[in-house]
Amino acid sequence: MKRYNEDFLDKIKGFNLEVLKNSKYPIYALSKELKFIYFNPAWSHFAKDNQFEGTALKNLSLGSPYLKSIKGVWLKLFFQKNYKKVIRTGETWHHEYQCSSDELYRFYHQIAYPLLNKSGVLIVNTEVFKLPMDQMNIKTFEVIIERYTQPNNRINQCSNCRHTQRADEPDLWDWVPNWVEKLPINSDLSICPTCKHLYEDS
């Protein structure tokens, strides 16, 4: 299966094709007209695992318009606007989204990078959370995310004691075990008032 257009290699200066190819997460690139110009093998596995077939699979082939693979007018407009902005401004764009299967509740982080000379956009997706698909896990996950996500969509963790700041009660910092070993992708390291006080006194 052909995975990229011939001129794609000229557009990815600064990116290593082997790294893109070997990523376990889905990566693809779009031309400035938002047509597919690259897929990594993980993207193909992702399409298969999510039961893209027939016409839906054809919409994921090289040269196909990306927006044909998106369901819903508002979602199409959302991605069109943001990918075009990346191409126009040369600034990367971060986006978090849910992409669940029947068995798993999955939450992803996406980074859209501009390609050389405003020629397109490279989209890298990484998995942030994966939980078994049952109501208790989904509710727990959503409550945790909502409690700690600040108005700027970031999560603050103290770099010293590893406690996480609440968004609804900013003076409170909690120990969130799952985030000690692996922080969410949208996290910032900060310092809590307790640790700040310790350092000021020393």
**Rounded average pLDDT per 10-residue block, the chain, 202 residues:** 78 83 89 93 75 58 87 90 96 85 79 92 84 70 82 88 87 81 83 72 46
> Rounded distance, CA 30 to CA 51, Å?
22
Q: Which residues of 68-78 are buried (b: 16+ CB within 10 A; e: fewer)?
A: bbbeeeeebee
pLDDT score for 186: 85
CA distances from 187 to 117, 139, 156, 197, 199 (A): 31, 21, 6, 22, 22
CA 167 vs. chain centroid, Å, equals: 22
pLDDT score for 18: 86
pLDDT score for 33: 96
pLDDT score for 71: 81
> Rounded distance, CA 94 to CA 186, Å?
9
pLDDT score for 55: 52
| Residue 156 token pair | 């603050």
pLDDT score for 161: 80
CB atoms within 10 A of CB 148: 22
CA 50 vs. chain centroid, Å, equals: 17
Q: DSSP string of 145-165? A: HHHH--TTS-EEEETTT--EE
* Closest to 100 in 3D by CA, of 128, 130, 79: 130
